[in-house]
Structure 1
Amino acid sequence: MKKLALAALLSAATTLPTMAADYVIDTKGAHAAINFKVSHLGYSYVTGRFNKFSGNFSYDANKVADSKIMLKIDTSSVDSNHAERDKHIRNDDFLDVSKFATAEFVSTKVEDLGNDKLKITGTLTLQGMDKEIVINAVKVGEGKDPWGGYRAGFEGSTQIAMKDFGYKMDFGNIIFDLHIEGVRQ
């Protein structure tokens, strides 16, 4: 009788609905990055990153469609490994950080494409303009970490047309590569 009761309890526990877990993006441990590249006159690419950003996401592998992500980027933290160029990128030809100190992405839809591939649709606010973008993402993995926590990691890419955000100088598309690792709360 005890075995039957235990089996029924275990069966009920495994059929309970799962809930999305909330994660904070691990920027303190430098386990996340927002990188970019943009054509330089059609001859090569300028690459860089944003050194300061924050965000969070909710994720449940069984209910991917319920996932959400939010990122805030400190635009003044742009770093292309060249101080004079970074000064130019921060001025009103590009990021205009004196007027637009942050950029933000908020997801509106997450689609499970199978094999850990995701299509994340959302609103990017940049230069005071809101535009819908799509991030093609892949779940890298999830599990316990050595410090007693639980993590989930993703990588993704997207691109935006500079003209869509009103840049005074237009070198075409900016390609973003995102590497996001979150610590479950």
Structure 2
Amino acid sequence: MKRILTGMVMAASLVTSLTANAAEYVIDKKGAHAFIQFKIQHLGYSWLYGRFNDFDGEFTYDSAKPNDSKIKVNIDVTSLDSNHAERDKHLRGTDFLDTGKYPSATFVSTKFNDKGDGKATLTGDLTLHGVTRSIDIDVSKIGEGKDPWGGYRAGFTGTTTLKLTDFGIPDVLGPASGSVEMILDVEGIRK
């Protein structure tokens, strides 16, 4: 019995030390060093750009074991901002995001596939408009290192394209406006 308990304690210590190697980061939204932006065609004639102003999240990252990376992001969908108040009201309405019913979205990673040279594919579950689907995000590491204030930071950029109808969002502006490109820039501060 003593050997079993000793073995369990050693195993727990090993697991703890293995997971302790990955650094934990909080997304630096307060310092305005993280952005969730989008672009979508308007009727096939021009591009509409916007962003979500309010979100938070955390991630773990270890450059020696990038495939162990994880991230979770919470987005306040009501914070949508396309730099036009009437359009924002319409996009938040029932024709599109229906933020009265679905005020938030989340992304929780399930896999990080390091491809070398700072490139990776991040896979995870996006819950948007009450629908959860697995998506892939093409990720590039921008850099990591000490900051001037004694902290340590890591930064990444990523892109993905979402088909609106996959998330139950009506395709009311025609086929040219059926997909939205997401541009994600994240700088994290190590805890």
Separation in 2, partners of 1:104, 1:97: 14
Specify the alignment match of 1:81 in structure 2. 83
TM-score (norm 2): 0.87
Other structure's SS at 2:72 match: strand
Retained in 1: the 8 A contact 2:109–2:125? yes
Retained in 1: the 8 A contact 2:142–2:156? yes
Separation in 2, partners of 1:92, 1:45: 22
Other structure's SS at 1:131 match: strand
Specify the alignment match of 1:178 in structure 2. 184
Residue identity in the other structure for 1:173: S
Instruction: Write out aligned runs for 1:119-138 (5 A).
Output: 119-138=121-140
TM-aligned CA deviation for residue 169 of structure 1: 3.3
Specify the alignment match of 1:52 in structure 2. 54
Q: What 5-or-longer segments of structure 2 have no aligned partner?
A: 1-16
Whether 1:113 and 2:115 are equivalent positions in the alignment is: yes
Whether 1:23 and 2:29 are equivalent positions in the alignment is: no
Separation in 1, partners of 2:53, 2:22: 28
TM-aligned CA deviation for residue 165 of structure 1: 1.0
Specify the alignment match of 2:4 in structure 1. none
Q: Which is further off, 164-173 or 91-100?
A: 164-173
TM-aligned CA deviation for residue 95 of structure 1: 1.0
Specify the alignment match of 2:161 in structure 1. 159
Specify the alignment match of 1:10 in structure 2. none
Q: Deviations over 1:19-65 (max 9, x none)?
A: 10000000000000000001100011110000000001000011111
What is the percentage of aligned positions where both structures have the same residue?
55
Specify the alignment match of 2:11 in structure 1. none
TM-score (norm 1): 0.89
Q: Which is further off, 142-151 or 17-26?
A: 17-26
Specify the alignment match of 2:9 in structure 1. none
Retained in 1: the 8 A contact 2:36–2:184? yes
Structure with a larger share of its residues in helix = 2
TM-aligned CA deviation for residue 168 of structure 1: 2.3
Other structure's SS at 2:21 match: coil
Specify the alignment match of 1:90 in structure 2. 92
Q: What 5-or-longer segments of structure 1 have no aligned partner?
A: 1-15
Separation in 1, partners of 2:120, 2:157: 10
Separation in 2, partners of 1:106, 1:165: 16
Count matched residues: 170
Residue identity in the other structure for 1:54: D
The Cα RMSD (Å) is 1.2
